[in-house]
A and B are shown apart, each in its own frame.
Chain A
Amino acid sequence: MGVEVATLTSTALRAMVPLTLAAVGEVITERSGVVNIGLEGIMLMSALGAAYVSYFSGSPYLGVLAGVAVGVAVGLVHGAVSVHLRGDQIVAGVGVNILAYGVAVVTLMRVWNSYGQSPWVPKVPRIPAGPLGEISWFFPLTLAVAAASWYYLFRTKGGLRLRAAGEDPAAAEAMGVNVFRVRFLATVIGAALSGLAGAYMSVDYVGQFTKQMTAGRGFIALANVVFSNWNPLVAVGGGLIFGFFDGLATYLEIVMRSPAMGFLLKTIPYAATLAIVSAAVGRVRPPAAVGRPYSRE
């Protein structure tokens, strides 16, 4: 029993990392007034970029950097479209998600001549952690990123300006905030954290790239943003809850060894996400100007 609790806990801790990192990034982006529903696509392309660089350079750390770089690149484009060109942010996000799937399969075929997955790639080494077996460096990193983001957003002047841009951009502009610049940077930083989450998926969590590896996690992270009430520290708790159900499904599948039940067990994280979000909404309040392009008159 003790062993099972430990297994379940470490599975949940591993599953929470991408759900939390991507959610914290999106909290920063949305607090500034921009929505990016392309998290799923960013994670997929970053996982691919990280696996690619890790495979050919032999260094998983360079792979992580590549994953972040992919996130930054998408963030720059999404930021330019959302902020400067006042585009439809939701449509642009969907475009990224669809693009990502095409890019993933075309790259897999060209580079590894495989339709579904890459070969194994060098992984980031783990930290030994007693009864939990070993944990990933990404776990403390995720906690630190969430804490730093919370501190920045709610305890610094820069964070106040960022939130003002997302609540009332016209008033923020009157106070001397450069709304365009703040929103653009917040979009890039948010996308970079999704990129980090994607890199974790391939060069830490799994150790290879598969074309369906994100499996809706970008959208579960979006649910986590709502659940957290746009607060990075609460998003850690959300990541643990959503991660728990993700881990629970994997764990029960292994224990029950029934392919029939396997299909039903796989629905657990998604059904749980729906249930949790249904219960949480109503008690949360999004930033007032989120998703609405700002223009100076």
Chain B
Amino acid sequence: MRLGLGSPGRYAGPLAEVSLSLAIGLAAGAAVLAGVGADPARGIYAMFSWALSDPSAVLDRATPILLTGLGFAVAARASLFNIGMEGQMYLGGLVALVVSLATREPVLPTLAGVAVGAGYGALAGILKVYRGVNEVVSTIMLNWIAYFLLGYFVTIYYPSPQRPWRSLDVPVTARFPRVSELPTAFLVAVAAALVMLYLLWWTSLGYDIRAVGLQPKAARYGGADPRRVTAISMALSGGVSGLAGVLVVLGRSFYLDSHASVMAGMGFDGIGVALVGRNHPVGIVLSSALFALMAVGGHGMQLEVGVPRELVEAVTGVVIFALAVPEAYRMLASALRFGRGAGGTSEGGG
């Protein structure tokens, strides 16, 4: 079975790294709670119990960050650092809203949102290929441009007559339904993860993407065109990020506002989701659920101990920072294995 999963033994190291980073992040969060005079145990308990009492809210929250996580991962597999999921998501959501007002059904708005997201992602890819513009800089600029374009269209062309800072509502016939409590939008996101899994490990395009990411020169020798792969993986990244915006608008909020507050930050959340999920679709489904749990539970924590739920952002930042230093874990592991004598190898070890 070529699942891209490999033998179980391969997971021990990465799993330990991810767990340790999450533990460091939670410890930092607990330290902040204690520092401001709140009871950390009560705060963390409130977070998880609140989230687990409302599973459909967790699935709603997981849907967009699962997709932006996939968006980050497919670019990262080609060794690109796309942090433009935020803007790609905004445009996907905006286009879905506009098209749904005309078609009053969900299919065409979804396809249009995905296409525009893909185009916006490809734009950064093309700027990189033809102009050598670093994607970190270009995607952040494109994020801000998308943010203000969204505000422009929402308040000028599609404002709600009663509340002009937000848009008209998505027609009821164009919304993604819920089957009892289960949001179908979440099922669409999981399906996208399966498609991405298939694409990355069963198709020649996926092989090229992974080859370019690992070793561009060798990949070119093997027949992959790194420039084409760059543009395509950025388009794929933008497409799933666009879908994230579509599913927020057609699946949960049913409107947009001038500050995109129904989805703000969920593109950046995808970075943490993807890194904790080790840029693998299966890992990303799991980590999106974890991040959604923390985000939804943040409300519970805020109510229970009075610390703003943005503390969750700070924890996420620490987790990501901790994930940047696998070398530290290797050093820690060897120190534990060899006792104190290994401390002297801090700079030469590994």
Contacts and interface: CB of A to CB of B under 8 A. Distances in A.
A102 B311 contact: yes
Contacts of A257: none
Contact of B152 (A81, A85, A103, A260): A260
A219 B275 CA distance: 21
A270 interface: yes
Contacts of B331: 85
Contact of B138 (A37, A102, A277): A277
Contacts of A106: 32, 307-308, 310-311, 314
Interface in A67-105: 77, 81, 84-92, 94-103, 105
A81 B318 CA distance: 13
B137 A226 contact: yes
Interface residues of A, number: 53
Interface stretch (B5-13, B43-51, B143-151, B175-183): B143-151
B127 interface: yes
A216 B268 CA distance: 14
Interface string A11-39: 00000000000000000000000000100
B311 to A, nearest CB: 5
Given A102-B316, A260-B152, A278 B133 contact: yes
Nearest to B21: A95
Most central of B134, B137, B155, B326 by chain A CB within 10 Å: B137
Given A87-B324, A267-B145, A96 B317 contact: yes
A98 B141 contact: no
A171 interface: no
B347 A180 contact: yes
Interface residue SS majority, chain B: helix
A76 to B, nearest CB: 13
Contacts of B316: 98-99, 102
A103 B151 CA distance: 26
Interface in A174-218: 180, 215-216
Given A99-B318, A263-B151, A267-B148, A92 B311 contact: no
B347 A296 contact: yes
B340 interface: no
A85 B328 contact: yes
Contacts of B133: 274, 277-278, 281
Nearest to A278: B131
Contacts of B348: 295-296
B148 A264 contact: yes
B140 interface: yes
A84 B317 contact: no
Contact of B271 (A98, A219, A270): A98
A263 B127 contact: no
Contact of A102 (B136, B137, B310, B328): B310
B350 interface: yes
Interface in A252-290: 259-260, 263-264, 266-267, 270-271, 273-274, 277-279, 281-282
A96 B319 CA distance: 10
Contact of B136 (A110, A222, A296): A222
Interface string B70-96: 000000000001010000000000000
Interface in B20-47: 32, 36
Nearest to A104: B310
A223 interface: yes
A95 B321 contact: yes
Given A102-B314, A263-B155, A274 B328 contact: no
B315 A94 contact: no
Contacts of B83: 94
B288 to A, nearest CB: 16
A216 B275 contact: no
A109 interface: yes
B310 A260 contact: no
B320 A84 contact: no
Given A92-B321, A105-B308, A226-B137, A98 B152 contact: no
A109 B131 contact: no
Contact of A278 (B36, B127, B308, B325): B127
B313 interface: yes
Given A81-B324, A263-B149, A274-B133, A94 B311 contact: no
A226 B268 CA distance: 24
Contacts of A264: 148-149, 152
B349 to A, nearest CB: 9
A99 B152 contact: no
16 contacts: A77-B321, A87-B327, A95-B318, A98-B317, A102-B310, A102-B316, A106-B307, A106-B314, A109-B308, A222-B134, A264-B148, A270-B144, A273-B137, A274-B138, A277-B131, A277-B133
Given A87-B326, A92-B321, A295-B350, 20 more contacts: A85-B325, A85-B328, A85-B331, A92-B320, A92-B325, A95-B319, A96-B317, A98-B320, A101-B317, A103-B317, A105-B308, A220-B141, A260-B155, A260-B156, A267-B148, A270-B145, A274-B133, A277-B137, A277-B138, A279-B131
